[in-house]
Amino acid sequence: LDTLIPQSTETLLPSETPILPTRSLNQVNTLRVNHWLFQITAVKSDPGMDSSRQQVVLLGNVTNEGYSRDTFTGQAISLRDSQGRQYEDNIQGQLAAGDKYGTQMAVLMNPGATIYTAVAFDAPSSERTFTIIPGMLVVSWSGDISFTLP
């Protein structure tokens, strides 16, 4: 992963915000979606079902910033590639990431609770450039984050 490009402050959909300067991968990239804070600490490309596929895995800490117990799901986040194709979360990739990276699956979380989790997407192995975009049922979104895999 070469760079993550965060965008600015929280907005309501479907607004888009301007791209900010690139930050180093050594820094945490924060995504706010609804009442969740997802601090993305790494992005990995793992082998897919065959040589033409890859699992793009977002790793990080998810915190429930809401006022009630809730479960974070990868459906809050989608991925778009450089050709405009969109990908939804992939549960098999998330399970594999749990085994490989020690992440937790989504659980019912109390307000203020944080877990280390993964959100995975099945994408063509030839694709290297992606943008994290809002998934289903998103009400508030802090802005898209673009990145390029090595």
Question: Tens digit of pLDDT for each residue in 102-123?
Answer: 999 878 999 999 999 999 999 9
pTM for this model (two decimals) = 0.81
Cα torsion through 54, 36, 136, 5, rounded to 10: -50
Residue 98: in which H helix or E strand, if any? helix 91-101
Read off the pLDDT of residues 76-95 as tens digits, 9 standing for 90 and up.
999 999 999 999 999 999 99
Q: Which of 25-29, 31-35, 49-53, 108-112 has the lowest mean pLDDT?
A: 25-29
CB 73 within 8 A of CB 62: no
Give CA torsion, residues 47, 49, 58, 119, to 10 deg. -160
